[in-house]
A and B are shown apart, each in its own frame.
Chain A
Amino acid sequence: MPELKVKQHKKEIFLDLSSFDFSNDSFRKELESELSRSAGFFSGNSVSVIIPEMELNKNSKDVKQQIQEIQDSLNKQNISLRASYAAGDLENMIASADSFRDVKLSYDDGQTETVSTSKEEVKDEEYNIPDTLYVKSNLRAGHLIRYPGSVVIIGDINPSAEIIAQGDVLIWGTCRGIVHAGSSGNEAATIRALKFSNCQLRIAEKFLGVAKEVEPKKNEKNNYFNAGELAKIENSEIMIYKS
C-alpha cells in the first residue's frame, strides 16, 4: 500500500505521491482512501502534489488525465490543487532538502509506535524550526500527528489520539490522549492544554500518566499564566500546574 506523505515548505503544503504507482488502475482508489484517513485535515486548503518524475516526463495525454484525476480526488475532500511537481524538479527548486519537513499524519492501526530519537531527528532540532503546525479540529481516536516542530491544536485530543512533536504542544481544548513534546530529547519543551484529563504525557524521555484524580498544582507567582494547565519538567519529573 503506497503511503501519502505530507511535507511542508514555507507556507506551502505538499502531498508527496511519489510512492504511488500511477500505472496501476487502483491508484485513485488508494489515493482516496489515504486522503480520507487524514480525516478532513486539509479540507478547505490548497495543496501541491509531488508526482514521481517518470510519470510527468511521459508527456502523454495520460499524465494530464492523471493530474485531472488527482484533482478530482482532492476536490472530493474539499482540497484544491495549487500545482503539481515532478519529484526531481522540486528538489532543484528547493536548494536544501533540509528545509523540507515531513508531517506525518496517519492512523496508528493498533501497532504500538516506538518513538525513535535517532541522530537525524536531533539534527533537525538544531535548525530551531520557526514554523508551527496549526490544526483547527479535534483529534479523534486513532489519529496521529508527528511533527518536527511545535504543534497548536484548536480542539480536543481524544482518547487514543496521539501527537508527537519535537517542540512544544499547545492544546486549546481538553487533552485525553497521548502527547509527546520535545520528542527528540528537548527537556525544555512544554505541553499546555485547557485541561488534562485521563491522558498520557511525555516530555523528552520523561513520562506521566494523568488520571482524573490528579489535581494540578497551583502555579507559583514567578511562573504566572492565566488560562489552562501547563505540564513541564521540573526536578527531573513532569509537573502539572494550573492557572
Chain B
Amino acid sequence: MGRVIVITSGKGGVGKTTTTANIGASLAKQGKNVCVVDMDIGLRNLDILMGLENRVVYNLVDVIEGTCKVKQALVKDKKLPNLSLLPSAQTRDKTAVNADQVRELVNELKTMFDFVLVDCPAGIESGFQNSISGADEAIVVVTPEMSSVRDADRIIGLLEARKNELDSYRLVINRIKPDLVNANQMMSMDDICEILSVDLLGIVPDDEDIVVSTNKGEPLSLTANKSAGQAYRNIAKRILGEDIPLMDIKGKGFFGKLKAIFS
C-alpha cells in the first residue's frame, strides 16, 4: 500500500505545485511508482509544469463522475514511465467533487502506486478539505514572509485537528533568499521553525532556473545539480527515510561569503 502525501500551504503562490512536481519527479527517478494528483480544480497547472498539457484526455472529475476509469485518466510522464499525472479539470470548479469521493479515489490510487502526491489548492475552503481527505501525510510549504507563515500556522492548526488520521505533517521552506536573510531583511529559518514548531523536511533556495524549467515543462530536480534542483532531490530522499543534512544555502553577498547561515 502506497503513501498519500498532500502538499498544502494556505497562502497561494508559495510553490505547492512546483514542490509537488519536483518531489514527484525525484521519487520516480529513485525508482518509485509515483502518481501526482492535481486537486486544484478549475486552475489546472501541474500538467504544464510536467510538460504534459497536450496529452490530457480525461481528468479527475471524469473519474469521480464515472465517465472513465482511473487508468484512462492517468497521463504517463514522457521520460519516467513510473511517473503518472492525474490532471484536474479546467472547466469545472471545486464543488464538482466532495471529500468522500476524493478519499475513495486516493485509496484506489494507493493500491497502484508507492506514492500519491496531492497538489492542494490555496485556501482553507472545500478545495483544501477535499485535498487532505484520505491523506496519510502532509507537507506544508511556506515562504519566509510573515503572511505565509501565518497562513501555514492556520493550516497546521487544521491538520492537527486530524492528527489521528495523519501520520505526520512536515515543513518545506521555499524561496529562501540568503542575501536578504544575511542582511536581516527576511525571516530566518530558525524564526519560522520556532513559530510553527513542526518538523522541517527541507529548505529550497529561491532559484530563477525554476521559472525556466517550468516553462520547459521539465522539473528542475531531474536535471540541475545545484540549488533548488538539489534541494528537491534531498527532500525526496528524506521522504524515503534517508538522513540527508540540510542544504547549506550561502549568499553571494559580502556576509554570505564570510559565513554560512544555515548549518
Residue B150 contacts which of A33, A36, A76, A141 (CB distance < 8 angstroms)?
Answer: A141
B160 in contact with A159 (CB, 8 Å): no
Residue A40 contacts which of B151, B153, B161 (CB distance < 8 angstroms)?
Answer: B161
Contacts A159-B195, A160-B150, A176-B195; A141 near B157 (Cβ below 8 A): yes
In this complex, how many residues of chain B approach chain A with their Cβ under 8 Å: the count is 19
B161 in contact with A37 (CB, 8 Å): yes
Asked if B69 is at the interface (CB within 8 A of a chain A CB), the reply is: no
Contacts A140-B154, A159-B153; A77 near B161 (Cβ below 8 A): yes
Residue of B nearest to A75 (CB): B164
- Interchain Cβ contacts within 8 Å, total number: 54
Contacts of B146 in A (CB 8 A): 159
CA distance A178 to B112 in the complex (A): 48
Contacts of A174 in B (CB 8 A): 194
In this complex, how many residues of chain A approach chain B with their Cβ under 8 Å: the count is 23
Contacts A158-B195, A159-B146, A176-B195; A141 near B154 (Cβ below 8 A): yes
CA distance A142 to B197 in the complex (A): 16
Contacts of A45 in B (CB 8 A): none
Which of B161, B163, B165 has most A Cβ within 10 Å?
B161
> In whole Å, how far is A185's beta carbon from the nearest beta carbon of chain B?
31
CA distance A37 to B129 in the complex (A): 12
Proximity bits, A149-169, B CB within 8 Å = 1, else 0:
000000010111000000000
B164 in contact with A76 (CB, 8 Å): yes
CA distance A176 to B146 in the complex (A): 12
Asked if A39 is at the interface (CB within 8 A of a chain B CB), the reply is: yes
CA distance A36 to B153 in the complex (A): 15
Residue A39 contacts which of B150, B158, B164, B197 (CB distance < 8 angstroms)?
Answer: B158
> In whole Å, how far is A196's beta carbon from the nearest beta carbon of chain B?
14
Asked if B162 is at the interface (CB within 8 A of a chain A CB), the reply is: yes
Residue of A nearest to B150 (CB): A141
A43 in contact with B164 (CB, 8 Å): yes
Asked if A128 is at the interface (CB within 8 A of a chain B CB), the reply is: no
Contacts A142-B157, A156-B197, A158-B195; A78 near B164 (Cβ below 8 A): yes
> In whole Å, how far is A29's beta carbon from the nearest beta carbon of chain B?
9
Contacts of B161 in A (CB 8 A): 35-40, 43, 77
Which chain B residues numbered 141 to 161 have a C-beta less than 8 Å away from chain A?
146, 149-151, 153-154, 156-158, 160-161
CA distance A242 to B194 in the complex (A): 21
Contacts A156-B197, A158-B195; A137 near B153 (Cβ below 8 A): no
B197 in contact with A43 (CB, 8 Å): no
Point out residues on A near B: beta carbons under 8 Å.
33, 35-40, 43, 76-78, 137-138, 140-143, 156, 158-160, 174, 176
Provide a sorted-by-A list of 12 A–B residue pairs whose CB atoms are within 8 angstroms.
A33-B129, A36-B161, A39-B158, A39-B160, A40-B160, A43-B161, A77-B162, A140-B156, A141-B151, A142-B157, A143-B157, A156-B197
